[in-house]
Structures are given as structure tokens and as C-alpha cells.
Structure 1
Amino acid sequence: MDATPPKMLVFDEDGDTLIILPYITSASEAADDQKSDPNVEQNGEKRPAEDALEKNEVRMKVSKKHMMLASRRAQKIFLGPWKETESRGTDGLHHWLFEPVFTPEAFEIVLNIIHGQTRGVPDQIGLATLADIAALVDDLQCEDAVWFIVKSWIRLLQEPLPHTICEDLVRWILISSVFDEPSIFQDCTKVAIQSTCKQLDTTGLPIRPSIIDGIEVERIKILDALMVDLEDQRDGLSRGELGCNLECRSSYLGALIQGMHSTGILPILDVNSPTNDPYEAPHRGLRVSSAMKAIREMPFPDVYITNIYSSRPSFHTCNLRGSLWQHLDEVEAEIMGLNLNEFMPK
């Protein structure tokens, strides 16, 4: 069977540059091609040997001048000692080969904007496509060229921001970081800080490593603050610095230690010890939201104290649990997302 020729898109009939974009699709997505494929069973499923990823290619004829005006990366490539500055092959065009990490749809929309082909630019797009465009725009460094239309797309998106870890949350973090949306960026990174139990999975999207590291640093900082307070309470009760008598201290200390065990944060690891890996500390494998919920739900017994003035024990009002909750409220009130200005490219 003859190989299918690469798809060709022309953005400038007189263009002098050929962008070559390999892209990966699953075999199951190429339904039309499977109809005549001898390796497809009668039930429509591929045989195991062929049930794999397929690589396709699209070629795009563009204007080097337009690309250089819009894209800082194109300027560096075509003005520098790179192989893309030389004509290659019999077509006499500059060949610019990309890695198979971008979608043809995102490339087509961005190149239509760059070349002024407004009829090919949709009025509204979905979140997944916008994230693909953000990834490409960040790579080409052409934010200014697409700025106005992208801001319109963002305004038209009616989807609420996610409140849990999901692919849409990661997409919003990428979009807001590329297109300078500090409020969206702060809200989404706050959710990530509260809801991850390890470094954020980017699901393959090219979010800047400094952003991923920033989310993890804040997550660990909050968990460490929670654990320091629990340790202070535990040690203060053990040394007799908290509580008002033996019954009070014994009851609260026992309940606190059992609660710390039940949340999975014991044994406490000294993160400042040179012999310990700080990331092995049990509490650092928790979600901030889960840890705070578990601490709030720690069961503390009602304590009754006997005294010489009454034959009946009286309810003890030394509310150590209340002081623990107060600290949780203070920590929770201070949880903020990341400041986008600190992660913008210099």
C-alpha cells in the first residue's frame, strides 16, 4: 500500500518556509483509514500487533517575514546559525521541523492569526484547544500576535474554574501563565497547593518547571507549619507546659498522639537532621486539605475533674482542642495561590 502523502496547509502562496509538524494519534482515532486496512478485524478492532500509536505529518507553507514579525523564537532561528536558515531539498524552501508535541489544530489557528487569515480563526474555542494553543504560543514566543483574540476566547469560556486536581486545572494553570491572567493563575495554583499529595502532574502540558516547583514548595511549607504546631502541642503537654493538671494533660496528650497516628503523620521525622531525607517525612505525603480535615476531626475526650469542694466531677473547660483549631484557621486563611509576576519570563 502506498504511503499517504503528508497533509499540506498553505498560509501564504508565496511563502518561503515549510513548517513540518509530526503529530501522534492513536490508531483508533483514524477510523476512516481503518476501513480499508487489512489488519482490521471484522468487528472493527485492530489486531494487537497494529493497536499502537501512529505518527502522521502535516506541512504548512508560511511566510518567514510574517513568522519573524510575530515570533521571537522565529527571529532567533532565522537570524542565527541554525539549520533552518538554509534552503533544503528541491523545493527551495526553508524547512522548520518541530517535535511531535503540538496539535495540528492549534498550529493552524495560530498561523492563521499570524498571517492575517481571519476567516480561519474561530470566534470561540474549548478549553482543551486553548491549552494546546497556549503551549504552542509559549514555544513560539508570539503572545503579542494572538493577544487580542485569546483574551476574547478566555472571556467567552463559561466553564467554572476547577476546585479539585484534574486535567482542566492544569490547563488553566498553563493558559493563565502564558496569557497573563494573574487572578486565574492564583486561584488555580491555590487549588493545586491544597489538593496535591506530591509534585503536580502536568499531564504532558509544558508548564514552566518553576511554577511546578513553586506549588510544591508552598504545599510543603504549609504541611510543615501544621506539623510543627502538632509537635509543639505534644511536647508542651509532655513537659507539663500546657494543660492545667495531670488529668487534663494525660487525656489530651493521649488523644493527640492517637490522632497523629490515625492521620498517618507519625513517626515524626526531624526534617532538619542531616541524616534524614526531608521528603521522607510522612506528613509531606499528605494533601493539605486532607491533613487539615483530619486534624479538625481528631477525637478529643470530654474531661471531668474532681475537686475537694464537690463530690461530683465538673466538666473541664481547658480547651486545647480549640487552640488547635484556631491555629488551623490561621494557617488556612494564609493559604494563597502563587503570584504570577514571580514566574513570568525575564
Structure 2
Amino acid sequence: MDHPTHILDPDGEVVIVLQDANSPFADPEEYMDCGLLEKSAYADVEHDTKETGTSEQYNSVGITSDAGGGRGSKKKRRKKKTMNKKKATNIPREPPPPLTEESVPPPTPSPDDDPFAQRPATHTEDESQPAQAPAADIDNEPGESRIQAGSPEEECFRIQVSAKHLLVSSAFFNELLTGKWKESVTYLEKRSVEVTATDWDIDALLILLRVIHHQHYQIPRVLSLEMLAKVALLADYYQCEETVSVWATTWIDALEETIPTMYCRELFLWIWVSWYFKLQEKFKEATSRAMSWSPGRLSSLGLIPAPVIDAMNSRREEVIGLAITTLHETREAFLNESQGCSFECSSIMYGALTKELRSNGLLSPRPAAPFDGLRHRVLVERMSHFQSPCWATYNRYGCLHGCSTSSFSTMFRHLVVPIEGLQQDQL
């Protein structure tokens, strides 16, 4: 297919060849270790916590097992891809750096729970070669050509665009067309060039390119959260944040989806969108919920920047670790009688706390970082419902015992809060 399928500029000097278009975005098999496939459990947790104040769906505090099997095919395991450009001198050069490395649940889980898939690649084909779809099992390094095998199922689109608009709006294309790359040489010699990309969503790519070409009458005013996340990914990859920012407020204000109150795929879409468009409050809320409900280490899902994921994992482990340490130190304090108003008080509270820890799987072995299978929100919900013993203090008044160390809800109330979300301006 040599003729353009989409013409944004009939005199355009650049043809973007999009191969393997509309590849799965947010494939759950890509990141099974993130625990994102366990959404069916969250509705049960919500129901139990609302009706009884505790979650009986877990045999121990927040401990679950990961669903699913291995990581899927090599094609699905491909890492975030980078543009594969060649210098005229055949000297490899590093591409623009890609992004690297996830409250209470809602009553109804989301129907889709897929984590982020990988970032598509952009690379160059020999002009003498026909357009071919990317090979599933070959990962090439920057500066190396890619061997490709076509497939009849793989969609291919050819989009004719203006080099002038690309040069002004995209730092990526500016470097590609004016630097010392193979594309640059071809463009300067022939005043035309083909650039090949893979995996992108065709609708998202057309939206971005129409923004770049100022074709405002063809740009939708309302995008779904999914489409907005795809457009943000493209804008980040092609380095045209300033151009897209003109439309950001319109799209965000028109969003119908709200931040989910469960640990699901849409929550990570919100983390990505709020990070990229600098939505401080929404970013804080989304990261709080992700950390509070994550059953293990969070993953970037191929999209969220490494500093964000590292900060989320660090804070989650820190807060859960503080809760576990507090429980065990309190138990030890009752044992050595440094806590409790009397021998009877410390002995009774020691026994009661030991029983609670044991029944919730927190006694032995003691949970340790990275606390896989342990959800902070479920942990603190259980802690808030530890049963405190009740006994009478026989004195001249003959009243029930009521010192400050005889109530678990009073002792641990400072721990029974969601994990505070991240501040974007501090990362």
C-alpha cells in the first residue's frame, strides 16, 4: 500500500507508516505480578467493610494469591519501545529516554482491569523495501535495523503530514528530520521521507497529529479516560507537551470518569493522566488509593515514571512496616510489663493481642517487606476491629477496667488511615 490512508496535508513531505495499529493497550497478561487481576475480591471487601466493619473475605489480613499464570508471549513481553534511528555514519545513538516504572473500594468493580501495555516504537524502513508489520519476537537495539514479518491481521496506515508543523510542534520530529540520522539525510535530499511507527492507536495518533496541524474543527472535545491516556502517551513520546496542553483543560473538564475507589486498571490510567497533565489533587488521590490497596509492589505498567513508582513502593512499605512494627512492639511491651497499668492488665492485653495477631496471620512468621499479598487498607481495617478484652477491677467502686492501654481501638487509631498520596511537586 503506497497511497496515504489519511491525508492531513496534501502537500505534506512526511508519511508516517503506522504498522500493527491498535495493538492491545493495557494488557493484563503483561503485568500479572501487580495483582491487577484480583478485582473480584474488592467488591466483597467493600460489602463486608460497609455491613460489618470488617472484611471476612480474607483468611488473614489482606493476604491474597495472585491470579493467572506466566507472563504471556514474547510479543506481549516487549518492553517500552524506543525509536530506532540510524545515523548516516551508522553510529548508534541513544533515543530520547522513555518513561519507566501503580481509600476504600467501590461497591461495584470496573469491568476492565487491564494494566498498561508497552510503549510503541518508531523506526525507519529502507525506501526500497515494502512496508511490513513488525516481528513479534525480535527486539532491536537503537541504531539497528529491524527484521519484520508481515501478518494479514496487522493493520497498516499511511498518514501524510506536514514537515513544517512537525518541526515546530515536536522536539522528537525536529531532531529526527534535522539531525544526523538516516531520516534527516533522506528528507534533506528528497524533501520527503517515510517514518515507521508500530502499535499506536490510530485514533489517538490522528488526534495528536490534528492538534499539531491546528485542525481544531476535527479534534473531539470529549475524550474517554482511555483515549486521553493514549494521547498523553503519544504526546510524551513525541515530545509535544506544550502543543497538547492547549487542549488538556478541555479534555479533562469533559471527562465523565471519576477516580475509582478500587485497585484497578483505571486507577493507573488516572495516575498517568494526572501526572502528565500536572493535576496535583487528582494525582495525590489516585496514588493514595493505589498504595492503600496494592497487594504488593506496584509496577509502572510501562508508563508511569520510575521516580513515581519508586516513591509509591517506598511509602507503601514504610507505612505497612510501621503498622506491623507497632503491633509487635506493643505486644512485647505488654510481655515485659512496660505497658499496662498492672500485672493483670498487661497479662490480659498481651494474651488478647497475641490471639488477634495469630488469627490474622501477623504473628509468625512476621510479615516483612515488600509485604507481598498484604494490603494496607485491609490491614488497618482489621486492626480497627481487634477485640479488646473486658474485665472488672475489683476495688471499692467495683467498676470495669478502663485504663488507656486496655483498648486496641484507642491504641492503634493513629494507624487506621489510608496512605497519604504523593505530592507531584515534591518528586
Alignment TM class, shorter chain as reference? 0.7 to 0.9
Paired amino acid for 1:315: L
Match of 2:281 in 1: 183
Could you tell me which residue of structure 2 aligns to residue 22 of structure 1? Answer: 19
Deviations 1:88-112 (A, max 9, x none): 8xx9732222232x21110000100
Determine which structure has more spread, i.e. the larger CA radius of gyration: 1
Considering fraction of residues, name the structure with more helix: 1
How has the CA–CA distance of structure 1 residues 332 and 245 changed in structure 2, closer, same or farther, with 3 Å as cutoff?
Answer: closer
* Mapped pair 1:244 → 2:341: yes
- The answer to whether the 8 A contact 2:312-2:422 is kept is yes
Match of 1:292 among 380, 383, 387: 380
Distance 1:321 1:306 in 2: 16
1:77 pairs with one of 160, 176, 181: 176
Decide which moves more: 283-292 or 125-134.
283-292
Q: Offset of 1:178 from its aligned partner? A: 1.0
Report deviation, 1:24.
5.0
In the alignment, does 2:295 pair up with 1:197?
Answer: yes
- Matching residue of 1:12: 9
Q: Which residue number in structure 2 is paired with residue 212 of structure 1?
A: 309
Equivalent residue for 2:87? Answer: none
For 1:174 and 1:300, how far apart are their aligned partners in 2? 42
TM-score w.r.t. length of structure 2 = 0.64
Distance in 1, Cα, partners of 2:177 & 2:425: 30
Structure 1 letter corresponding to 2:171: R
SS of the aligned residue for 2:160 comes to strand
Question: Structure 1 residues 87 and 212 mapped into 2: Cα distance closer, same or farther (>3 Å)?
Answer: same
**Given that residues 6 and 58 in structure 1 are in contact (C-alpha distance below 8 angstroms), is that contact kept between their aligned partners in structure 2?**
no
Give per-residue Cα distances to partners, 1:36-59, cap 9 Å, x unaligned: xxxxxxxxxxxxxxxx99421212
State the AA in 1 paired with 2:249. K
Give the letter for the 2:424 counterpart. L
Q: TM-score, normalised by structure 1?
A: 0.78
Once the two structures are superposed, residues 65-120 of structure 1 have per-residue CA deviations (whole angstroms, 9 ceiling, x without a partner) of 211211122223233333332328xx9732222232x2111000010010111222
> Are the structure 2 counterparts of residues 257 and 104 from structure 1 closer, same or farther at C-alpha, using a change threshold of 3 Å?
same
- Could you tell me which amino acid in structure 1 is paired with residue 401 of structure 2? H
Which residue does 1:301 correspond to in 2? 389
Describe how 1:268-287 pairs up with structure 2 within 5 A.
Answer: 269=366, 278-279=369-370, 283=371, 285-287=373-375
2:366 aligned with 1:235: no
Tell me if the contact between 2:381 and 2:416 (Cα under 8 Å) persists in the aligned partners: no
1:174 aligns with 2:272: yes
Query: RMSD value over aligned CA atoms?
Result: 2.9
Structure 1 residues 9 and 86: alpha-carbon distance in aligned structure 2, compared to 1, 3 A threshold:
farther
What residue in structure 2 maps to residue 320 of structure 1?
405
**Partner residue, 1:34:** none
In structure 1, the residue matched to 2:74 is none
Helix, strand or coil at the partner of 1:59: strand
2:389 and 2:195 map into 1 onto residues whose CA distance is: 70
| Cα offset, 1:235, TM superposition | 1.0
Give the fraction of aligned pairs with identical amino acids, expressed as a percent. 25
Q: d(CA) in 1 for partners of 2:21 and 2:348? A: 62
Query: Secondary structure of 1:95's partner?
Result: strand
Residue in 1 that maps onto 2:123: none
Where does structure 1 lack aligned partners over 5 or more consecutive residues? 28-51, 272-277
Alpha-carbon distance, 1:327 to partner = 5.6
Select the structure with the greater relative contact order (CA < 8 A; seq sep ≥ 6).
2
Return the match for 1:131 from 229, 234, 239.
229
